Chains A and B, each alone.
Chain A
Amino acid sequence: MSELTHNPTPLERIQSAFKSFGLPRMIIAGMLVVLLVAAPFVGANFWMQITNVINRFTWNGVLVLAMVPMVHSGCGLNFGLPLGIISGLLGATLSLELGFTGPMSFVMAIILSTPFAILLGAGYGWLLNKIKGGEMMIATYVGFSSVSFMCMMWLLLPYHKPDMVWGYAGTGLRTTISLEGYYDQVLANFLQIKIGDLVIPTGSILFFALLAFLMWAFLHTKTGTAMTAVGSNPTFAKAAGINVDRIRLLSVVMSTWLGAIGILMYQQGFGFIQLYMAPFNMALPAVSAILIGGASVNKASITNVVIGTILFQGIVTMTPTVMNNMIHMDISEVLRMVVSNGMILYALTRKTEVNR
């Protein structure tokens, strides 16, 4: 990736690679390697573990990808991801309510969630344009407020489908809705490859790859480069005649839409729609995943997304099994909290041009 103009010694090359990779990332990557090596020794099925990691990667990949546009346009880490997730949830529940089944329900969920994502994203983007410089904190609380607002809405909105609403009352959506018969595993089962214990959900990977490619391609269009310019140097961008606010708005809408698609992907793999307080927990893992992948508060690439998601989900899925088998003590949850939040802290304390 890095093309150096002068001829560095191999040692220098390694050193600079280490430096750009960052110490925390090294530690996490090292941890994952140790876990992978240790897995067979403690009696965990290696290939099953790999399958798990790949699966979790496909569930979460798009949610992490949703971070990219906003980071690029300088809006910081998208702690407001729950807003996108809500659009996705609205799309998903509407698709089910309208009676779509099988793969069609997935397509319809995407289509139906799109207007919500655009609408909510536009409002959110407008707000973030008013408060440049304080995006991350406000994003967090916009996410929280909208999740708690939707908690009321899930109870009040006139959904009627029997397998979605509470049985005894006939109204109010359930906290979890099974997707069996709808779009549970539709992508994962598409062109699925099975080699012994290793199962590769080809369809999911392809779908993620498609979105990632589109994202990459977009970032190389004129608008895409303008977005990067706005993020890296807004004064310069303004001078170059770029409408900064419009570009930022676009990036927020994109992030929100990807968040919506992301949660649909997650549901597709997980098999359930989770409502009410569930979206609350979802921003932080995605944020820390992209940071683990090497992104910073104002720089992120597709590679960061892929590496970060694999590393983060690798740690999350491997530690419980390996730890449990090794010391009969499940500290994976605590470890996950310390690692993911520690990573975010690390990123926040790096010196970057905050003052815009």
Chain B
Amino acid sequence: MNRRRLFFGIATVAVLIAIAACMMVIGRGHTMYFDNKKLEYEGQTVDTIRRINVFVGDEQVAKLSAKDRGMATFTGQTLKFRLEVIREKGRDSEFFDYTVKVPYGQDGTVLNLPAMIEGLPAEAYTSEFVPIVTEEEVDEEIITDDFGLSEDMDMDVGAEG
């Protein structure tokens, strides 16, 4: 009896840990930034493209003219997306499908689309997105009284239907 209980206990914990691990993989959120910018790589210059539309699934996430940046958020470590490239007005658009893997620990990734379309190696067109740190002068005041009654009294702060 006791051994059975121990077994069930361990099994439950194991299942929970497995679910947690699974959630950490599939739920990890990333942001992908799409750049339509000029890039120089080992002497080769890739110019901007007149117009690129980015689709994730059926949804259009960005319309990029030259020098634009667009973004998409996704969970999991791979992002599949389709590019619609319009090089010149009036010309038929070309379509490209890509699947990009991002490292687990990287919150934001920047892709240079022209370089990608040109067929340059991955390290040429991917880079990590580094948020610009805005230095805050004042520390926020932390209110830690026993009863936070003065303000957060109500339960409907930030509620919306």
Residues of chain A touching chain B, judged by Cβ–Cβ distance below 8 Å, are: 277, 280-281, 284, 333-334, 337
Contacts A277-B150, A281-B146, A333-B144 supplied; 10 other A-B pairs, CB < 8 Å: A277-B147, A277-B149, A280-B146, A280-B147, A280-B149, A281-B145, A281-B147, A284-B146, A334-B144, A337-B146
- Report the bound CA distance from A81 to B144 in whole Å: 22
Interface centre among A277, A284, A334, A337 (most CB of B within 10 A): A277
* C-alpha spacing A130/B150, complex, angstroms: 33
Q: How far is the CA of A209 from the CA of B144 in the complex (A)?
A: 34
B145 to A: closest C-beta gap in Å: 7
- A334: chain B residues at CB < 8 Å are 144
Within 8 A of A (CB), among B137-156: 144-147, 149-150
Task: Please measure, in the bound complex, the distance between the C-alpha atom of A281 and the C-alpha atom of B150, giving whole angstroms.
Answer: 12
Distance in angstroms from B149 CB to nearest chain A CB is 5
A281 contacts across to B, CB distance below 8 A: 145-147
Please report the C-alpha to C-alpha distance between residue A287 and residue B146 in the assembled complex, in whole angstroms.
Answer: 15
Bound together, the chains give a CA A281 to CA B149 distance in angstroms of 10
Question: B147 to chain A: which residues have CB within 8 Å?
Answer: 277, 280-281
Distance of A234 from chain B, by nearest CB (Å) = 33
Query: Nearest chain-A residue to B144 (Cβ)?
Result: A333
Interface size on B, residues (CB 8 A): 6
Of the A-B pairs whose beta carbons lie under 8 Å apart in the complex, a sample of 13, sorted by A's number, is: A277-B147, A277-B149, A277-B150, A280-B146, A280-B147, A280-B149, A281-B145, A281-B146, A281-B147, A284-B146, A333-B144, A334-B144, A337-B146
* CA gap between A22 and B43 in the complex, in Å: 79
Please, which residue of chain A has its CB at the minimum distance from the CB of B142?
A333
Shortest beta-carbon distance from B138 to chain A in Å: 16
In the assembled complex, the Cα of A284 lies from the Cα of B146 at a distance in Å of 10
Q: CA A184 – CA B147 in complex, angstroms?
A: 27
A252 CB to closest chain B CB, in angstroms?
A: 24
Distance between A203 CB and nearest chain B CB, rounded to angstroms = 31
Least CB distance from A262 to B in Å reads 19
A-B pairs, top 3 by smallest CB distance, nearest first, are A277-B149, A280-B147, A333-B144
Residues of chain A lying within 8 A (CB to CB) of residue B144: 333-334
Query: Which residue of chain B is the closest to A285 with respect to CB atoms?
Result: B146
CA distance A284 to B147 in the complex (A): 11
Min CB distance A309 to B, Å, is 19
* B150 surroundings in chain A (CB, below 8 A): 277
A280 contact set on B, CB distance < 8 A: 146-147, 149
List A contacts of B149 (CB < 8 A). 277, 280
* Min CB gap A272→B, angstroms: 16
Chain A residues, CB < 8 A from B145: 281
B:31-66 near A, CB below 8 Å: none
Q: Which of B109-161 contact A (CB under 8 A)?
A: 144-147, 149-150
Cα–Cα, bound, A161→B9 (Å): 68
Minimal Cβ-Cβ distance residue in B for A175: B150
Q: How far, in Å, is B35 (CB) from chain A's closest CB?
A: 43
Please give the distance in Å from A158's CB to the nearest CB on chain B: 25
Q: What distance in Å separates the Cβ of A238 from its nearest Cβ neighbour in chain B?
A: 39
What's the nearest-Cβ distance from chain A to residue B29, in Å?
32
Closest CB in chain A relative to B155 CB, distance in Å = 16
A337 to B147, CA, bound (A): 12
A104 to B144, CA, bound (A): 37
**Distance in Å: Cβ of A333 to nearest Cβ of chain B:** 5
CA distance A337 to B146 in the complex (A): 8
Closest chain-A Cβ to B151's Cβ sits at a distance in Å of: 10
Q: Which B residues are in CB contact (< 8 Å) with A333?
A: 144
Task: State the CA gap A334–B149 with chains docked (Å).
Answer: 18
A337 CA to B144 CA in the complex, in Å? 10
Cα–Cα distance between A229 and B120 once the two chains are bound (Å): 93
Q: What's the minimum C-beta distance from B142 to chain A, rounded to whole angstroms?
A: 9
- State the CA gap A185–B146 with chains docked (Å): 28
Chain A residue at minimal CB-CB distance from B146: A281
Closest B residue by C-beta to A334 = B144
- A281 to B145 Cα, complex, angstroms: 8
- Give CA–CA (A241, B52) in the complex, Å: 96
